[in-house]
A and B are shown apart, each in its own frame.
Chain A
Amino acid sequence: MKYAPALFGAAALLAWEAAVRIADVPSYLVPGPAAIIAAFVADPAGLLWSLGSTLLVTFAALLVAATLGVVLAVAIASSRLLAAAIQPWAVVLQVTPIVAIAPLIIVWVGNPFASLVVCATIVAFFPVFANTAAGLASAPAELADMFRLYGAGRFTTLRLLRLPAALPYFLAGLRISGGLALVGAVVAEFVAGSGGFASGLAYRILEAGYRLQVPRMFAALVLLSLAGIAINFGLGTFAAAVMRRRGDA
């Protein structure tokens, strides 16, 4: 059972390679796994450098989204007025397609790295914000009553009850936001790349597409997928470790 995903993946790759060879499909149309590996081996440094650039944007955006998400979630948990003021705008931010506003952000922000981080942050922000807000509200009413009974102020209740109660929610939101930060970074890179700057994997995909280097395009795509899987796995492991350390698992 444990090896089922790996076995299925290996079988699919073998079938893909066999189908491409048997049908003699040209590699500029659909490259087989062997051609994709060959394209990666031909220029590993270039692709890995671009992956590093994309990951830098991803993690910077994730850090900003997590910080902003927690701060705003605490703000709306502390004040009904702030909740009424902030929540609708958070939803607006979530439903606005980043592709539509990325060109504006790139123009307004100016600095290429900062503009990519802003775009990726907008995409990654909502899950960590919404989850943390739900977590802060999840503390049982009776426990909140007990804190009141013992004279705890808002800050003490936040520190000893609401924030610890929100931790599993925050970690679940962070895991979702991790994947979305990568998606946001790639989307922003596509927009920025077409504007002629940045060096992330999305730009490599665009570049390879223009040059009809389809195996290299696929190699960049595979790296992106592997990065997404690694981020998801890494944040899942991090969440499990934090919960285990706290004694929840």
Chain B
Amino acid sequence: MTLVMLQLTSVGRRFGAVEALRDVSLTIGAGDFVALLGPSGCGKSTLLRLIAGLDQPDTGRVIWEAGHQPKPGEIGFVFQDATLLPWATATDNVFLPLRIAGIPRDQAMPQVNRALHRVGLDGFEAARPRQLSGGMRMRVSIARALVTRPRLLLMDEPFAALDEFTRHKLQEDLLSLWQELGCTVIFVTHSIYEAAFLARHIVLMTPRPGRIDHEIASPLHPGAPARLDPAYATLVAQVTREMQRALTA
């Protein structure tokens, strides 16, 4: 049986007159790869921020395993934009979380270089964000999120602004990293194809106010060949049907 990493119980969040989330209950298993799928404005990003502790729910609770509130560095966050320090090199951007934690530079460098190597950025350590392509900037952002060896990786539509070829490559690399590192991933997307390819569990959300409509377990074996697997097409069709139903419900 999979261990539970965190539970959301009847979580609600309102911004003035706008009700972003209503009665969201969700259980995330340790080591799982969960995609939060829904139309724009359905509260996916809000939910991610609540899990990260960057915002607080108006109702309900976010409960961590054994009441263990994560320490800084145990959660990695990848935003839609790479959100790098424009004046810092790739190395310094990846070093940033460790620097904040007070780890000396020379002590942190092996970890930083390993993170950059993992995302395929060997040779670009001294490059600044403006010298990198959109895909490479996102790789730096992922390396920065991984450098603290987080138990939970939160990703908020990280590949939405990239071209399809880069997106496919990064999706495949992300799956490899997830399998290698064994961390839990919660991945926000509004792409059915992306959710079907990446996730072990797909959580469908309704339009605002966002609620959990449905959860689908993926039958696919994660990895690059999955795109050509007939089961992938079947899963995409199933998610599409469920999404259409959720949108019109």
A residues contacting B by CB (< 8 A) are: 140, 142-143, 145-152, 156, 160-161, 164, 167, 246-248
Contact = CB atoms under 8 A, between A and B. Distances in A.
Contact of A150 (B79, B85, B97): B97
Contacts of B87: 164, 167, 246-248
Contacts of B128: 247
Interface in B47-64: 49, 52-54
Interface residues of B, number: 23
B66 interface: no
- Of the listed residues B49, B53, B86, B148, the one surrounded by the most CB atoms of chain A closer than 10 A to its CB is B86
Given A145-B77, A149-B54, A149-B77, A140 B83 contact: yes
Secondary structure of the B side of the interface? loop
Interface of B: 49, 52-54, 71-73, 75, 77, 79, 81, 83, 85-87, 89, 96-97, 99-101, 128, 148
Contact of B101 (A142, A143, A151, A246): A151
Contact of B100 (A150, A167, A247): A150
B98 to A, nearest CB: 9
Nearest to B131: A247
B100 A142 contact: no
A149 B52 contact: yes
A7 to B, nearest CB: 36
A164 B96 CA distance: 14
26 contacts: A140-B81, A140-B83, A142-B81, A142-B83, A145-B49, A145-B79, A146-B83, A147-B100, A148-B54, A149-B52, A149-B53, A149-B77, A150-B73, A150-B100, A150-B148, A151-B73, A151-B101, A156-B100, A160-B85, A160-B96, A160-B99, A161-B85, A164-B85, A167-B87, A247-B89, A247-B128
Contacts of B148: 150
Contacts of B73: 150-151
Nearest to B75: A149
A243 B54 CA distance: 32
Contact of B83 (A143, A160, A246): A143
B156 to A, nearest CB: 9
Contacts of A145: 49, 52, 54, 77, 79
Contacts of B85: 143, 160-161, 164
Nearest to B82: A142
A147 B83 CA distance: 11
B15 to A, nearest CB: 15
Contacts of A149: 52-54, 72, 75, 77
A164 B86 CA distance: 10
Contacts of A140: 81, 83
Closest 9 CB pairs of A and B: A151-B72, A142-B83, A150-B100, A152-B100, A142-B79, A150-B97, A150-B72, A246-B87, A143-B83
A150 B94 CA distance: 13
Contacts of A150: 72-73, 96-97, 100-101, 148
B131 to A, nearest CB: 9
Nearest to B70: A149
Contacts of B71: 151
B39 to A, nearest CB: 22
Nearest to B126: A247
A167 B81 CA distance: 22
A147 B54 CA distance: 10
B183 to A, nearest CB: 15
A202 B103 CA distance: 56
Contacts of A167: 87
A146 B88 CA distance: 15
A146 B77 contact: yes
Given A142-B79, A145-B77, A151-B72, A248 B86 contact: yes
Contacts of B96: 150, 160
A149 to B, nearest CB: 6
A239 B83 CA distance: 25
Contacts of A146: 77, 79, 83
Nearest to A156: B100
Contacts of B52: 145, 149
